[in-house]
A = this chain, B = another copy of it.
Amino acid sequence: MTSDATPALDPAVAERLKRDDNGLVAAIIQQHDTREVLMLGWMDDEALRRTLTEGRVTFWSRSRGEYWRKGDTSGHVQHVKGVALDCDGDALLVQVDQVGAACHTGSRTCFDGRDLPVVTDESVTDECVTTDGDKAALEGDARG
């Protein structure tokens, strides 16, 4: 960090980000040990800087237009374990230790109980089974 008054995101990281029109990248939040995908949030450069340096996850709230450090009001803190940026710079994978529920509705993840009706491989095998080894995989359950 330089002696500048305002801390900034590491330029080596900032130059790798491919931000959307609102200056944001998507942040996938995953429980580090069970690998549950807990939620998806949004970060600008400053939210990412705080996340990388404070040990806690900070998002940019698109609806409220403000920074939001997960758990400050709910107690459902996300302790940062690791952060990776994807190959094209528009998505982050944040490994956390989640305290309590990740979802504001009280469910553990924001996806729990929200399955959409889907046609899985089992019903379209004649189209999809084209690679060695896939048949065995298709014997598994429909939802891992």
Contact = CB atoms under 8 A, between A and B. Distances in A.
A83 B115 contact: yes
B26 A79 contact: no
A51 B118 CA distance: 8
A80 interface: yes
Interface string A95-126: 10101000111010011101111111101100
A28 B40 contact: yes
| Number of identical protomers | 2
Interface residues of A, number: 70
Interface of A: 10, 13, 20-21, 26, 28, 30-37, 39-40, 51-56, 75, 77, 79-88, 90-93, 95, 97, 99, 103-105, 107, 110-112, 114-121, 123-124, 127-128, 130-131, 133-134, 137-138, 140, 142-144
